[in-house]
Structure 1
Amino acid sequence: MKIMPIKINNDLPAKQELLDENIFVMDEHRAHTQDIRPLKIVIMNLMPLKDQTERHLLRLLSNSPLQVEITLLVPETHQSKNTSTDHLIAFYTTFNEIKEHKFDGMIITGAPIEQMPFEEVTYWEELTHIMEWTKTNVTSTFHICWGAQAGLYYHYGIGKYDLDEKMFGIFKHKVVKSHSPLLRGFNDEFLVPHSRHTSIHKAPIIANEFLELLAESDDAGVYIVKSVDNKQIFVTGHSEYEADTLNQEYVRDKNKNLPIKMPINYFPGDDDHNKPVNTWRSHAHLLYANWLNYYVYQVTPFELE
């Protein structure tokens, strides 16, 4: 079966890891030989371990016959502490360098800052300019976790609230709008990882005529929300996570002596000596493939500019 060629920088470290998984990664040289306009997707990577997030997202963007050209973006008003400057210089760009261009899709990732007021985030003003820009320059924008909370707050004035303890683990979800193309092929119930200290209330989403609630969890709350014009998608969980990602966060927090409980429904037998099993992979691939197909490819103009 032919898998989507992801067009990325030839030297990006994630490329070899994806090739090792038999994911078809197209470098710039081969892409130029195909008479196909690739979907232009820009990823605003706000996560600390940027190379890990690159791998997570590129893997999911691979499950389609479409060619995708990736642009990696970081805030100009924030200095990353967990990713080398050499990596950022080699593979990332800033908003000022792309703001005159149009894109088929954009992904705004989460960030481990959800307990801070939005206005106190160092790059908040820059991010609001970018989110405003997406209204006219991006066909559809996919927001993840804190990025989803930030997007709902900026676009619709829906705030977040602190949880009594971290929402941490693998939670069962249910489809609310079964006929939504974004959920096409979903099981009635499916599993999703969550890792966050804040949440959003359901009531203001239901009350807003410009928003639709597509999926939720009895335990983890609101999961997928979209704007009625399909230009903004908000996903509060981390479907892109690998099997071991929550374990890495769990060990990190324990080593820092932070108040952290074992992830719910994650380690087999609730024993953290057991290797975690990925129970959400198929849902994650379907979610991103549906977004690319129904909300980007089928509605984006052929001539972007």
Structure 2
Amino acid sequence: MPINIPYQLPAREVLERENIFIMDADRARMQDIRPLNILILNLMPEKEKTEAHLLRLLGNTPLQVNVSFLYTATYESKNVSKSHLEQFYITIEEAKSRRYDGLIITGAPIELMEFENVNYWAELQDIMNWAKTNVTSTLHICWGAQAALYHHYGIGKFELPKKCSGVFKHSITDPTIKLLRGFDDEFFSPVSRYTDVSIEAIEAHEDLILLASSPDAGPLLMMSKDARNIMITGHLEYDATTLAEEYERDLAKGVDIAMPENYFPDDDPTKRPPNKWRSHAHLLYSNWLNYYVYQQTPYEWK
């Protein structure tokens, strides 16, 4: 089933080339089902790439999805035009006039900062608090996952000796959990972060369930027992070349950075890396939308 997005959104052209089912507003209004309304708080600097990453996954399920994008009013992004934000994004104050079936909070390249030093931290806390009663389920990605663990459950992050970057094998803990339906016992996920969270702290918390982890990259996937918060510290939404683009960007900046692990064929950065995680990315988002959003959300919000 399709995703319903603004006609002029740049990601639309990318998705249409990949035969992702996109519906215009006129056709969407003729559908005799209630679409899911998903809000995406896009904190990533290259917003248009992140839009395409997430819309690709949201557009490959049997559900009709209306997508709205959210940006922070307390911080002005330097990597996207103001006109793009004004045309395709809203602020939390505008979003508060309605309720949403699902919310996605992306990562942000600010892991080494203390949460309280992030200039939009108070606004993000407001958004996460609002979501408790106005969103059926929230999916948090990378730094967004760490922010949720800290804000909701008091679990902080710690700095790693070096950046954890690459494609790592993760093991699932319980294949009967609905979010993991269809997953292999072991699966790959891209990881790109300078910080981590304690696997022991997650396992010890009475409100959290650890779903997948790696001996090399730590905890990847966890959720609250009420399923309202799902956290993933990796980037299943990434394209095959996204880690390579980040690596080349850091080298160009003169950053002392290691090559992503288990990524380039023969550890040769001139060779195109294969995508080893695409099927599980689609499974994760499909399962989230079906079991934790569609199956749980009321037909009419009261």
Band the TM-score falls in, shorter-chain normalisation: over 0.9
Distance in 2 of aligned mates of 1:264 and 1:27? 41
Residues 1:273 and 2:263 are matched in the alignment: no
In the superposition, the TM-score normalised over structure 1's length comes to 0.98
The code of the aligned residue for 1:230 comes to A
Residues 1:170 and 2:167 are matched in the alignment: yes
Distance in 2 of aligned mates of 1:100 and 1:200? 34
**Structure 2 counterpart of 1:199:** 196
Aligned counterpart for 1:100 among listed residues 73, 76, 97: 97
Distance in 1 of aligned mates of 2:257 and 2:115? 24
Gaps of 5+ in 2: none
Distance in 2 of aligned mates of 1:254 and 1:29? 46
Distance in 2 of aligned mates of 1:180 and 1:81? 40
Distance in 1 of aligned mates of 2:218 and 2:79? 30
Give RMSD over aligned pairs.
Answer: 0.7
| Counterpart contact for 1:152–1:158, Cα < 8 Å | yes
**Structure 1 counterpart of 2:112:** 115
CA positional deviation for 1:32: 1.1
| Counterpart contact for 1:216–1:222, Cα < 8 Å | yes
**Poorly superposed stretches of 4+, deviation over 6 Å:** none
In the superposition, the TM-score normalised over structure 2's length comes to 0.99
CA positional deviation for 1:205: 1.0
| Counterpart contact for 1:104–1:304, Cα < 8 Å | no
CA positional deviation for 1:276: 1.0
**Structure 2 counterpart of 1:63:** 60
Q: Secondary structure at the match of 1:199?
A: strand
Distance in 1 of aligned mates of 2:46 and 2:192? 15
Gaps of 5+ in 1: none
Per-residue CA deviations over 1:253-300 (Å, capped at 9, x if unaligned) read: 000010111110110011111111111100100000000000000110
Q: Secondary structure at the match of 2:127?
A: helix
Alignment of 1:230-269 (within 5 A): 230-269=227-266
Per-residue CA deviations over 1:46-95 (Å, capped at 9, x if unaligned) read: 00000000000000111211000001000000000001111111100000
| Counterpart contact for 1:177–1:213, Cα < 8 Å | no
The count of residues paired between Structure 1 and Structure 2 equals 302
CA positional deviation for 1:100: 2.7
Alignment of 1:292-303 (within 5 A): 292-303=289-300
Residues 1:17 and 2:14 are matched in the alignment: yes
Residues 1:156 and 2:181 are matched in the alignment: no
